[in-house]
Structure 1
Amino acid sequence: MQTRFPDIHDVIIAGAGPVGLFLACELRLAGLSVLVLEQAQDPHSPLKQLPFGLRGLSIPTTEAFHRRGLLEEIVAAQRAKSGAIESAAHWMRQARRPAGHFAGLQFFQDDVDAAKWSWRLPTPADAGVAVDMESLETVLAARASGMGADIRRGFGVTAVAPSDHDVTVQAAGETFRGRWLVGCDGGRSTVRKSCGFDFTGTDPEFTGYSIEVELADAEKLSPGRNSTAAGMYTYAPPGTIALVDFDGGAFHRTAPITLDHVQEVLRRVSCTDVTIIALRLASTWTDRARQASTYRKGRVLLAGDAAHTHSPLGGQGLNLGLGDAMNLGWKLAATIRRSAPCDLLDSYSRERHPVGAQILDWSRAQVAIMRPAPSARALQAIIRDLIATRDGASYFAERVRGVSLRYDLGGSHPLVGRSVPDFALPDGATVGEHLRTAKGLLLDFDVRPSLQALASRWDDRIAYVAGEPRDRLGLSTVLVRPDGFVAWASDGAPNHDEAVEALSRWFGA
């Protein structure tokens, strides 16, 4: 084996999917040296272009991209494929605007009461965005490479050896060293397995299929989502189909996916005698739901599917992983630059683990009402009635969109731990635009010289922004972390000691 020890990298990232690439961008914003090792030689895959591969981005995700100047690029890249989107969404075009679904049970925008989210202000991140994986990865890879991240494809990680001072990684017959390693290498993560992370949860109940086929008699399938006595299938004409077969996950990655097998499963699940002429693309997935007990062991961290895996129902997995990257990037950078308080990096697992656990349970709940059983049908009917009410639709919208996300950061103010409102500031910029340098913000709406003097003590880590915004929501002062979450807030005259405590807690001495 050829062994090569280059200059040690600040961070090695295993995996060049959206999570690994976004994390690379975050770390490069801080000026760190970043090496991304990816197993696949070619980033392009036909499976990433399937219409059912479109992922709806949650509000925390679109906010993160807006705060880093990526949202417009991603939207533009996806618009280039607008024809594919329209084809895939043809059966979804309805008189009422859909706002999302829970296990296929649709709820609608005109039923959602957005007034419940009184802490939110209008923002470009509110626009619904759906992307395919290829478009998203192309934008993120271009941004990461343009910022100086070293992305090496065909370099799948095969072994990891952490020490107290660094981490040695073997990939494609070569050896690399990094001060830190982040595993973003998927549900079968080599990093997670090599470093002995616990990964526990529930076993699968079904094998899911995403297929592109040519049908002899497409009229036998009903477009849209369909529950049957044997399972569930979703059909987008002319030949894109997703289906779930409640076989306990028996077929997932156990045998080649043949036309005969797919036809047998499709006929059984759809309860029709539909005939497949050609099988063009096919992949399988399951509802296995597992999570690492911690996202950090020494100098090794996990993010994305390496830290948590579940069914792709509702598209929550991508958003969950991108949230990991946004939460982790600035904390790891501050730790490496030695400007962080001693326990800042541990807050990554403390904050993100409960969010992951909640999404796993959300996924399990959807599976519970999809089962081909009378009890599941009865539960589905009750959920359908609830989701059609204003309170019900608002609850599901809040959960699906991620509006309810709040970290437990302590403090008595109701805004602490929530995403900062996108205040329109006197300088013509919004809070989201001020966050593009990945520095924290001290927003002073009453222009107090004492706060400006206080902020100057951390001027290499935070920006002081003064002046009354268009709508201040009754606030006088807000301390914002680099990821856009509120660390401290005050409605009246700010308490100097509280401000110093919050600044020291998140930005160091």
Structure 2
Amino acid sequence: MHDVVIVGAGPVGLFLACELGLAGCSVLVLEREPEPGSPWRADPLGMRGLSAGSVEAFYRRGMLHPLLTASGVDDGSGPGPGAEKPSRPRGVGHFAGMVLDPDKVDLDALPFRLPGPVTDGLLTSLEAVEGVLSERARELGVEIRRGVTVSAVAQDDESVTVHAGEQAYAARWLVGCDGGRSTVRGLAGFAFDGTEPLFTGYVMLATVDHPDVLRPGINLTPTGMYIRMPTEGHIGMMDFDGGAFDRSRQPTRDHLQAVLRRVSGTGVTLGGVRLASSFTDRAMQATTYRLGRVLLAGDAAHIHSPLGGQGLNLGIGDAMNLGWKLAATVLGHAPDGLLGTYTGERHPLGAWVLDWTRAQAAVMRPGPHGQALREVMRDLLGTRDATTHVFEKTSGTSIRYDLGSDRPLVGRNAPDLRLEDGTRLGELLRDGRGVALDFGTERRLRDAAAVRRNRLRYAAGSADDGLGLGAVLIRPDGIVAWAGDRDFDRTSFERAADRWFGKAAS
């Protein structure tokens, strides 16, 4: 019996597998596709934007340099352990097709931000991300079986059985990371609620006669939107048809040409279509991310349109949050209620992303109401405050979980603190344990109970952070669980450590 079976070998499933493998859990990943490679995962169709928060997750597990190399951007100037990056982001994306100006981001307004190896996002491909994660998973002893289709799920109080083909796989826990049409979600009986779509979106690689009639970049039009990508023939479209055309049908050349002519307002002609797919802005979310011994992460837990590029990043955040909590549960030292905090912390973020994409679809909708909203948003996004707000929300820097403390740093993603010997927090988190950083000369946390039990990594020394801290407790996912000033109460630290890492055995 495995500790955990994960269904789905995409970025979310593989990242979660690595987190569990790092903690010493036995993990089996089941993937329907027989081979990892696909044109839909490679450049250009598989290109995705990782937010600064997602890039930081790879950095904190020692996978950033391999990811940069696989993404073709490791030229010696990219981020990495010990490196300093320019503080200004290169790009901040778009809101409802309106491209934002990175020069309008007020870096001083971003909370608890320190210079460090990761201050920006990364344009990469699913192929690169999955390749790096697959290699790390194998190094950690994770078993990946491909060409396996799940047909049934059964659970009791002690275990879960997953049926695939003629095989039955038993595990203590099952996690569905198998995408928006999750088989696990349906078989386990999760409720999936939300809103119906406003548009059908398309992406294609095609031969275009006289492509110069299509303007490069993102183009909002009176009838929809189209994107002419840098790669020749790579085109995206949004047709506000109420989501009438979805993945249940393969779009034909004639249909794609008709949609492109309508949304672009041109007489453009498609000579041939190499690859094409469709999607909608249907926004749905599981009402809980756990039912018994079955959990969901990534698109299996929430689906929405790709507007703003939040889907992959939201899923990686799910995996980072769930991994250490599930591992502690498997290994028997999780405090009461720890696994329940996964839904409690991640479900509100998923709901926010769904609303964020709904708002963008409403702004882009053709007609006088959508046009009026676009003009209002253009005015707002021309300001420094609005651009900074959008960057803060979409980069992952604004995440704050309610951990029951009024200290402004608690519940937030920890800044990449650097100790006097040059060691950075990101390096200390690589083994997947929490970290106790002790900035005082008294070394008051050296013999803390969680440190003695080896559930926390202890590091001491002064830090040039300007935050006035005496010590800080950081969870394995990089979230600050407790912060103390120069005269902190050791008892309050111990209580926080017990809450997140469990009490010593009696």
Instruction: Name the TM tier (shorter chain).
Output: over 0.9
Aligned to 1:92: none
**1:426 counterpart letter in structure 2:** E
Q: Give 1:25-424 correspondences, 5 Å limit.
A: 25-51=18-44, 53-79=46-72, 98-237=91-230, 238-424=232-418
Quick one: structure 1 residues 170 and 383, their matched pair in 2 at CA, closer, same or farther if it must change by over 3 Å?
same
**1:68 counterpart letter in structure 2:** R
What is the Cα deviation at residue 15 of structure 1? Answer: 0.2
What is the Cα deviation at residue 381 of structure 1? Answer: 0.9
CA distance in 1, matches of 2:142, 2:441: 39
1:480 counterpart = 2:500: no
Secondary structure in structure 2 of the residue aligned to 1:432: helix
Question: For the Cα contact (< 8 Å) 1:25–1:143, is it kept in 2?
Answer: yes
Secondary structure in structure 2 of the residue aligned to 1:313: coil
CA distances 1:376-410 after superposition (whole Å, capped 9, x unpaired) = 11111111111111111111111121211111111
What is the Cα deviation at residue 270 of structure 1? Answer: 1.1
CA distance in 1, matches of 2:340, 2:366: 42
Aligned to 1:10: 3
Question: For the Cα contact (< 8 Å) 1:50–1:240, is it kept in 2?
Answer: no
CA distances 1:301-346 after superposition (whole Å, capped 9, x unpaired) = 0000000000011110000000000000000000111111010000
What is the Cα deviation at residue 32 of structure 1? Answer: 0.5
Question: For the Cα contact (< 8 Å) 1:455–1:463, is it kept in 2?
Answer: no
Question: For the Cα contact (< 8 Å) 1:455–1:462, is it kept in 2?
Answer: no
Pick the aligned partner of 2:17 from 17, 24, 30: 24
TM-score, length-normalised on structure 1? Answer: 0.93
Quick one: structure 1 residues 450 and 81, their matched pair in 2 at CA, closer, same or farther if it must change by over 3 Å?
closer
Quick one: structure 1 residues 236 and 55, their matched pair in 2 at CA, closer, same or farther if it must change by over 3 Å?
same
What is the Cα deviation at residue 249 of structure 1? Answer: 1.3
Question: For the Cα contact (< 8 Å) 2:450–2:498, is it kept in 1?
Answer: no
CA distance in 2, matches of 1:190, 1:405: 30
CA distance in 2, matches of 1:48, 1:14: 18
Question: For the Cα contact (< 8 Å) 1:52–1:242, is it kept in 2?
Answer: no
Aligned to 1:85: none
CA distance in 1, matches of 2:102, 2:464: 27
Secondary structure in structure 2 of the residue aligned to 1:180: strand
Secondary structure in structure 1 of the residue aligned to 2:148: coil
**2:173 counterpart letter in structure 1:** W
Q: Give 1:432-443 correspondences, 5 Å limit.
A: 432-443=426-437
Question: For the Cα contact (< 8 Å) 2:329–2:339, is it kept in 1?
Answer: yes
Question: For the Cα contact (< 8 Å) 2:39–2:46, is it kept in 1?
Answer: no
Alignment: residue pair count: 489
What is the Cα deviation at residue 247 of structure 1? Answer: 1.3
CA distances 1:220-260 after superposition (whole Å, capped 9, x unpaired) = 21111112221110012521100011111111023222111
What is the Cα deviation at residue 268 of structure 1? Answer: 1.3
Q: Give the alignment's Cα RMSD to 1 decimal.
A: 1.6
Question: For the Cα contact (< 8 Å) 1:50–1:212, is it kept in 2?
Answer: no
What is the Cα deviation at residue 147 of structure 1? Answer: 1.3
Shifted more, 38-47 versus 118-127: the winner is 118-127
What is the Cα deviation at residue 349 of structure 1? Answer: 0.5
What is the Cα deviation at residue 130 of structure 1? Answer: 1.0
What is the Cα deviation at residue 457 of structure 1? Answer: 5.3
Identity of aligned residues (%): 54
CA distances 1:129-170 after superposition (whole Å, capped 9, x unpaired) = 111111111111111112110000101211110111000001
What is the Cα deviation at residue 471 of structure 1? Answer: 2.5
**1:183 counterpart letter in structure 2:** G
What is the Cα deviation at residue 507 of structure 1? Answer: 0.5
Shifted more, 206-215 versus 494-503: the winner is 494-503
CA distance in 1, matches of 2:263, 2:243: 15
CA distances 1:188-216 after superposition (whole Å, capped 9, x unpaired) = 11111111111000011111000011111
Divergent runs of 4+, >6 A: none
CA distance in 1, matches of 2:434, 2:322: 14
Q: Structure 2: where are the runs of 5+ without partners?
A: 76-88
CA distances 1:10-48 after superposition (whole Å, capped 9, x unpaired) = 000000000000000000011110000000011111122
Shifted more, 8-17 versus 415-424: the winner is 415-424
CA distance in 2, matches of 1:224, 1:449: 55
What is the Cα deviation at residue 449 of structure 1? Answer: 4.0
CA distance in 2, matches of 1:184, 1:147: 19
CA distance in 1, matches of 2:247, 2:103: 42
Aligned to 1:91: none
Secondary structure in structure 2 of the residue aligned to 1:424: coil
**2:211 counterpart letter in structure 1:** A
Question: For the Cα contact (< 8 Å) 2:450–2:501, is it kept in 1?
Answer: no
CA distances 1:70-114 after superposition (whole Å, capped 9, x unpaired) = 1111111101799xxxxxxxxxxxxx9542210111111111101
**2:260 counterpart letter in structure 1:** L
Quick one: structure 1 residues 259 and 390, their matched pair in 2 at CA, closer, same or farther if it must change by over 3 Å?
same
Quick one: structure 1 residues 80 and 404, their matched pair in 2 at CA, closer, same or farther if it must change by over 3 Å?
closer
Question: For the Cα contact (< 8 Å) 1:303–1:325, is it kept in 2?
Answer: yes
Aligned to 2:487: 493
Name the structure where helix makes up a greater proportion of residues. Answer: 1
1:502 counterpart = 2:496: yes
1:452 counterpart = 2:446: yes
CA distance in 2, matches of 1:282, 1:503: 51
CA distance in 2, matches of 1:81, 1:135: 13
TM-score, length-normalised on structure 2? Answer: 0.94
Aligned to 1:468: 462
